[in-house]
Amino acid sequence: MPFRDECGVFGICHQAEASRQTYLGLYALQHRGQEAAGICSGDGQGLHLHKAQGYVADVFTEAALDALPGDAAIGHTRYSTTGGNVASAAHPFLIHGRFGQVSLCHNGNLTNTEVLRAKLIADGHTFTSPSDSEVLLALINRAQADTLEDAVVSALRQAEGAFSLLILTEDALIAARDPHGFRPLAMGHAGDTTAFSSETCAFDLVGMTYDRDVEPGEMVVVPRGQGQIRSRFPLPRVQAKPCVFEHIYFARPDSLVYGRSVMVARREMGRLLALRHPVEADLVVPVPDSGVSAALGYSEQSGIPFDFGIIRNHYVGRTFIEPKQNIRSFGVKVKLNPVRHLLAGKRVVLVDDSIVRGTTSKKIVQMVREAGAKEVHMRIACPPTTHSCFYGIDTPKRQHLIASYMSLKEITGFVEADTLGYLDLKDLETCMGDDGAEAGSGFCYACFTGNYPVAPHD
């Protein structure tokens, strides 16, 4: 139950039902953002946009999809960020400019947005929202370049930080990923149709085959008419640093991310966790849903039986009317309910994916104890989270990350666990097949190490 990701993207070209397939793709990516959704489609008449706050299933009606004709589309599902005019921050963004209509949506976060924006404003540009997508569109539009494609390259060269983006124009669907490849972006096909998605689970739903990732620093251009798909690497080559947290928490377990099975990685994390932090116990219990795979791995390695000692209510929606009176642990219990008959009298290994502020972990430990657990041994399937993310994940400021100001012992006391064990960074690297040596390998572990691949300007 950690950080919140900022979005999922899906795009498709040469598909008669482009907007409907994009709708389905976003449906499969709904876990990446529940605040807003949008689709921009293109036909011979231009681009068509529909976006609004809400779940994908609520934002799009039959009528809304019918108003998004054409054989190419891009879409976005978005997590809430604080403040501002929320409605105006939904993606995709669509501009009318010197390249005609251009639409863009992205997953990630530029680290030099404010610098770029200030410069663009000084040059006379205006913005309708604080979104860095608008900054990218402005850079494209004002690039000293004759073609849209070169203009995109120019813009991407100025952008720093994390971006996995999709651009739809009157002529092409373009996908691009920042040089470090912080955020995922997969590419697939079915017949002549080409698609891009934050995760492969969206391909599974629409019956497409995953081919490969858009590579860090790569720009893939899919012409909307005739013509070959073109790949370019116009950005400086640096060591790739894809976000490891996608594997720890964000991605759906049935997805391949960076070409690896999320579920397999998580199970391996649990297994190594059991090796490093064994404990005598009766039951391995995951915090659902994100701790499940690691808990299975822990159970397998340790031989301690696994069971769902905590059940999640999947009907909990975005809105909920709180009782006026105080109900003990209500905030946690509305989502999670301990199974007393499994837990009573047991020594429990409680497996979660991560600890952020520590307050939720504390409540869950309390809840498990109230349900009768004799001992609660907390195991976390990643290293202590000590630093904020600047590459597209909505983390608290550093001073609110419990591991940034408390020792392991203090955290153990705070969350009221009998013992607490985190996965070692070394082990995490092992799980990710990362030997930390050769060029091209490696992941971004900045939230554990503070070693930021790109220094944040803003």
Q: Which residues are catalytic?
A: 7
Cα(425)–Cα(360) distance, integer angstroms: 23
Give the 3-state secondary structure of residue 55: coil
Report the residue from 147, 227, 237, 305 that binds its own copies according to the rule CB under 8 A. Answer: 305
Residues 427-446 that bind its own copies (CB under 8 A): none
Residues 211-240 that bind its own copies (CB under 8 A): none
In the complex, minimum distance from the CB of residue 146 to its own copies, in angstroms, rounded to a whole number: 13
Give the 3-state secondary structure of residue 124: coil
In the complex, minimum distance from the CB of residue 14 to its own copies, in angstroms, rounded to a whole number: 13
What's the token pair of residue 255?
Answer: 């997805």
Give the 3-state secondary structure of residue 46: strand
In the complex, minimum distance from the CB of residue 411 to its own copies, in angstroms, rounded to a whole number: 27
Report the residue from 338, 392, 421, 453 that binds its own copies according to the rule CB under 8 A. Answer: 338
For residue 70, the number of C-alpha atoms closer than 13 Å in the C-beta half-sphere is 28
Decide whether 61 or 451 has the Cβ nearer to its own copies. Answer: 61
243 is in an annotated binding site: yes
Report the residue from 107, 293, 301, 385 that binds its own copies according to the rule CB under 8 A. Answer: 293
Q: Which range in 277-285, 321-329, 408-416, 427-435 contacts its own copies by CB under 8 A?
A: 321-329
389 is in an annotated binding site: yes
Residues 75-104 that bind its own copies (CB under 8 A): 85, 88, 93-98
325 binds its own copies (CB under 8 A): yes
Return the H-helix or E-strand segment holding 109. Answer: strand 100-110
Residues 183-212 that bind its own copies (CB under 8 A): 201, 204-207
- Whether residue 209 contacts residue 276, with contact meaning beta carbons closer than 8 Å, is answered with no
145 binds its own copies (CB under 8 A): no
Q: How many residues bind its own copies (CB under 8 A)?
A: 86
Decide whether 307 or 434 has the Cβ nearer to its own copies. Answer: 307
Cα(92)–Cα(135) distance, integer angstroms: 13
CA distances from 117 to 40, 103, 177, 392 (A): 24, 18, 20, 18
Q: Of the candidates 235, 136, 234, 133, which has an alpha carbon nearest to the alpha carbon of residue 179?
A: 235
444 is in an annotated binding site: yes
Q: What are the start-end ranges of the E strands in 157-236? A: 161-169, 172-177, 186-190, 193-197, 209-213, 219-223, 230-232
353 is in an annotated binding site: yes
Decide whether 433 or 436 has the Cβ nearer to its own copies. Answer: 433
Report the residue from 13, 49, 136, 272 that binds its own copies according to the rule CB under 8 A. Answer: 49
Q: Of the candidates 213, 156, 161, 187, which has an alpha carbon nearest to the alpha carbon of residue 440?
A: 213
Per-position x/- string for 56-75, each x denoting binding to its own copies as judged by CB under 8 A, each - no binding? xx--xxx--x----------
Residues 6+ apart with CB under 8 A from 295: 270, 284, 285, 286, 306, 349, 351
Decide whether 315 or 437 has the Cβ nearer to its own copies. Answer: 315
Give the 3-state secondary structure of residue 341: helix
Report the residue from 44, 82, 126, 225 that binds its own copies according to the rule CB under 8 A. Answer: 126
Binding-site residue numbers for [4Fe-4S] cluster are 243, 389, 444, 447
Binding-site residue numbers are 243, 290, 352-353, 389, 444, 447
